Amino acid sequence: MSLLDHTHNPEAQSFVASANLADSDFPLQNLPYGLFRRAGSNESARVGIAIGDQVLDLRLAASAGRWSSAVQVLLQPLADGDLNSFMAQSASKRRLVRHALFDALAEGSKQQSALTACLLPQAQAQMAVPCRIGDYTDFYTGIHHATTVGKLFRPDNPLLPNYKWVPIGYHGRSSSIGVSGSTVRRPLGQLMPPGAEVPVRAACKRLDHELELGLFVAGGNALGEPIPMADADEHMFGVTLLNDWSARDMQGWEYQPLGPFLAKNFATTISPWIVSMDALEPFRIAFAHPASDPQPLPYLDSDKNRSEGGYEIELEVWLQTETMRAAGEPATRLMRSNFKHAYWTLAQMLTHHASNGCNLQPGDLLGTGTQSGPEASEGGSMLELSLGGKQSLSLPNGETRAFLADGDCVSLRAFASKDGARRIGFGECSATIVPAPQL
Amino acid sequence: MSLLDHTHNPEAQSFVASANLADSDFPLQNLPYGLFRRAGSNESARVGIAIGDQVLDLRLAASAGRWSSAVQVLLQPLADGDLNSFMAQSASKRRLVRHALFDALAEGSKQQSALTACLLPQAQAQMAVPCRIGDYTDFYTGIHHATTVGKLFRPDNPLLPNYKWVPIGYHGRSSSIGVSGSTVRRPLGQLMPPGAEVPVRAACKRLDHELELGLFVAGGNALGEPIPMADADEHMFGVTLLNDWSARDMQGWEYQPLGPFLAKNFATTISPWIVSMDALEPFRIAFAHPASDPQPLPYLDSDKNRSEGGYEIELEVWLQTETMRAAGEPATRLMRSNFKHAYWTLAQMLTHHASNGCNLQPGDLLGTGTQSGPEASEGGSMLELSLGGKQSLSLPNGETRAFLADGDCVSLRAFASKDGARRIGFGECSATIVPAPQL
């Protein structure tokens, strides 16, 4: 925990009063990055920092604030709306900016009046995908998810032999990644109805969410040059929530032998604020596979990964149906889980990805796979919670769901908290399902 | 064949003499697009057109030539080095530019002296990936490849039940796409040796090429809005050769259940010149699945696809080993095949990809999958030619290969030819394997 510093002091407060509320996702200790426009404006998108219920506009703050010359240089790409170029900076330079922003936004800061003029209420900000995502990869680190889903297909052998050796992953679609607040159109696709011999084209009947985190890559690696575990942290920028929407009926018919394709690539939704690795530093935990499991091959192993490679992050899925919304009823929580249950760490995902020389680039996104907990009630997808669609969930208003219905709004939420640290929130990752196009 | 026009006249000649040689890949009727720099220069990349053994520099030609005002506007993104923006134009506008360039480069053109000053020998041009490839998808349309590879794993049931219904595809990695002339580093990876119970990390021992074509997307579609078959041609820009390098031993161990990942994403190589759909227009052929096979679902069917959805394109793989190169011996041809054997057309690939609302974007790349012919000698990969590595190929100089060795240079070549049409070439897609990094 050598990297804990005064920006992790749980007592520190901001001059932005809303950041000091105990339940704020965005206290002074968080300072996540996002991309926004003033709602209704045509201005080009700007990089901002969430603080309480406000956004600090970094285009304005870069010139209005007083910064050291080193920080001023680092703020320039942020002032230009180019988060990718900032992501490419070294971890120590990114930390320098965190410290400068923390000090400037702290209670008693001499910059209070200058920076107050650079704040915009989040309610007036329209968020966008925060950076240019060159490539998006989705992993499969949720072992309880992999086991439960595997059981549906292979009751005797739910986990394939490679699972405990290989951080399984596959490439996803960048173009269809959207930010929280979007709608998701139910996809049309080929389905093979049970017992049928000929597939049909129809609207997906088994539409599902998947509860994931997304890791954004910081600096990249040159093609052909793997990233050793010892360097993995340096290449990690921060984390969002990620909903890997899935069309289960399309997936079942199309996925052999090359993996999921149209069942996934119609939409992925992320939360707008990238929580930096620095903000998550207090929530690192020891990480080790059970002694009865194979230990990682050396290229996926390091002392640091064992002593603090994991992160303890609470995860939740909430659902508000159209009926609930119309009646003014709040969303209901479908489940909760924790990222500590993942079978592979963020560092192992990243190192494995580059282990064959594949070149990662600043802004690339690595999904963690569905993060289900060990209990049946902790499934991170409807597929798990409804036992493959066989057992509908009852919602508080009497509605039932085996899979998602048009009008359903699914929200992922996450936060990290522990004694002695300020609670860090991730905000929301929400999207509402709209009907499929006419056939 | 209603779109054949004077730019397809096989008798037409260019004032660039090398374009008129019978074996030139780049006659006046071709005019493919590429991105280049003067070799050794630091200038920003420019869009060019291949003509004979020359490149027409479109930055220079846009201002040196005399163009209609409509063409002048369309040339602007090309003059700016931004092929993507030109790709996004309608098919009729792209055709307008083809006609203007054809007329300007034709024998007797009044622009001969102005445009001669805009030519650079291809030998002095360093080619680059021609456009920004947002997303790269690889299909699996080579039914002979799918059958042969399937037999290695499932002798009784080589083709899975979905193959003849679904144009199978999966997402690939954009960042590691390189252009012909690159080296490809043999990847390190996890391998499970035969009979072993514990995997090892080692250099890939079964490195392979795959002979494919790559389709570049022209205009895109909005998220949630499928592209009907009737509109597919409008969204197709042009075609390159594509080598989908594959690490077979890594692939066998990692690919269940989510498909190929590190076995593929260490490198993909494409040829530098995008041959436009217009140039390929004379080589369209009727396309239909055998009556004994399932007929495509209506969303993948159209009269035009049946009457002329296929393309007859000869495909070849050549190999020059390090020993051959040192001895001054030429490359040897490993196989030949033809794109007419593909089970799905380019239009079906594109329409299927967008059929769930997935948004395609200008410059996206869609690989066709390995294009093997029906004969065993026509395999588009070493995996097929060596029967899964069991039977080495003998090369003319006495060397043998089951898979690829360090120093091997693999070249894909392709051309379209028929009576009454000028032969259209694709140039080369070559890359040389360099040794894996030290473990």
pLDDT band at residue A2 under the 50/70/90 scheme: low
Asked if pLDDT for residue A1 goes beyond 50, the answer is no
- Which structure tokens are listed for B271? 């040829």
How confident is the model at residue B182, as a pLDDT? 95
Q: What average pLDDT does this structure show over B385-407?
A: 97
Per the CB < 8 A criterion, the answer to whether B303 and B278 are in contact is: no
User: What does the longest C-alpha to C-alpha distance in chain B come to?
Assistant: 73
- In tens, the pLDDT along A384-413 reads 999 999 999 999 999 999 999 999 999 999
Interface touch B223/A178, C-beta < 8 Å: yes
Angle at which helices B69-79 and B91-105 cross, to 10°: 90
Burial class of residue B438 in the structure, from the number of CB atoms within 10 Å of its CB (0-12 exposed, 13-18 middle, 19+ buried): exposed
Q: Which of B174, B356, B364, B406 to mutate to test the interface with A (most CBs of A within 10 A)?
A: B356
- Burial readout A260-292 (b: 16 or more C-beta within 10 A, e: otherwise): bbbbbbbbbbbbbbbbbbbbbbbbbbebeeeee
Of B160, B294, B361, the CB nearest to A175: B361
- Looking at this protein, which amino acid is placed at residue A422? R
| Residue A153 clears pLDDT 80, i.e. is over it | no
Q: Is the pLDDT of residue A46 over 50?
A: yes
> Does the beta carbon of B364 lie under 8 angstroms from any beta carbon of chain A?
yes
Instruction: Using the predicted structure, report yes or no on whether residue A212 has a pLDDT greater than 90.
Output: yes
Rounded distance between C-alpha atoms, residue A114 and residue A197, angstroms: 69
Contact A274, A246 (CB under 8 A): no
What pLDDT sits at residue B1?
46
Q: What is d(CA B247, CA B264) in angstroms, rounded to the nearest whole number?
A: 7
**Closest CA relative to residue B145, chosen from B373, B392, B316:** B373
Which pair of structure tokens corresponds to residue A428? 């929301």
Q: For residue A393, with 0-12 CB atoms within 10 Å meaning exposed, 13-18 middle and 19 or more buried, which class applies?
A: middle
Spatial contact of B83 and B32, defined as CB atoms under 8 Å apart: no
Q: Which of residues 233-272 of B touch A (CB under 8 A)?
A: 247, 250, 253-262, 265-267
pLDDT of residue B153: 75
Output the pLDDT for position B2. 60
Residue B371, pLDDT > 60, answer: yes
Q: What is the DSSP string of A209-228?
A: --EEEEEEE-S---TT----
The stretch A98-104 carries a mean pLDDT of 98
Query: Are the CB atoms for B184 and B221 separated by under 8 Å?
Result: no
Confidence of residue B3 (pLDDT cuts 50, 70, 90): confident
Q: In this model, does residue B414 exceed pLDDT 80?
A: yes
Q: What is the mean pLDDT of residues B150-177?
A: 93
Could you say which architecture CATH assigns to the domain B136-434? Answer: Alpha-Beta Complex (3.90)
Whether the CB of A158 is below 8 Å from some CB of chain B: the reply is: no
A165 and B199 within 8 Å at the Cβ level: the answer is: yes
Which region, left, alpha or beta, applies to residue B314 given φ > 0 means left and ψ of -120 to 50 means alpha? beta
The separation between CA A1 and the C-alpha centre of its own chain, rounded to angstroms, equals 23
DSSP state of B437: P
Distance CA A199, CA A191 (A): 5
In chain A, where the domains are located = 6-128, 136-434
Q: What is the pLDDT of residue A154?
A: 79
B253: which 2 tokens? 């161990």
Q: Taking the CB of residue A38, how many other CB atoms lie within 10 A of it?
A: 14
B266-286 average pLDDT score: 98
In the predicted model, what is the mean pLDDT of residues B287-305?
A: 97
Kindly state the average pLDDT of the residues A303-329: 98
pLDDT, position B280: 98
Is A352 an annotated catalytic residue?
no
DSSP A43: P
Contact list in A for residue B88 (CB cut-off 8 A) is none
CB atoms within 10 A of CB A340: 17
List beta partners, residue A15. Answer: none
Question: What average pLDDT does chain A have?
Answer: 97
How far apart, in whole angstroms, are the C-alpha atoms of residue A116 and residue B148? Answer: 67
The shortest C-alpha distance from B290 to chain A (Å) reads: 17
pLDDT in tens, B316-349: 999 999 999 999 999 999 999 999 999 999 999 9
- Say whether pLDDT at B309 is over 70: yes
The answer on pLDDT for A180 being more than 90 is: yes
List, in sequence order, every residue forming a beta bridge with B310; answer none if it has no partner: B285
User: How much is the pLDDT for A167?
Assistant: 98
Instruction: Please state, rounded to an integer, the average pLDDT across all residues of chain B.
Output: 97
State both tokens at A118. 């650079």
User: According to the model, what pLDDT value does residue B155 have?
Assistant: 83
C-beta separation of A70 from A59 below 8 A: no
Please say whether the beta carbons of A380 and A372 come within 8 A: yes
What pLDDT is attached to residue B380?
A: 98
In this predicted complex, what is the ipTM? 0.97
Q: Which CATH class is domain A6-128?
A: mainly beta
> CA end-to-end span of chain B, whole Å?
56
Structure tokens at A228: 């050793």
Report, as an integer, the average pLDDT of A237-252. 98
pLDDT of residue B44: 93
Strands B177-179 and B268-270: parallel
* Candidates A174, A261, A365, A432, partner chain B, best to mutate (most B CBs within 10 A): A261
- pLDDT at res. B152: 87
**Average pLDDT rounded to a whole number, residues B181-186:** 97
Average pLDDT over residues B405-419: 98
Q: How far is CA A294 from CA A162, B37, B250, in A?
A: 11, 51, 19
Same fold, B6-128 and B136-434: no
Stated as kind and residue range, the H or E segment containing B279 is: helix B277-280
Instruction: Specify burial of residue A18 (Cβ count, 10 A radius: 0-12, 13-18, 19+).
Output: middle
What is the bridge-based pairing of β-strands A183-185 and A177-179?
A: unpaired
Comparing CA positions, the residue from B141, B92, B85, B177 lying closest to residue B352 is B141
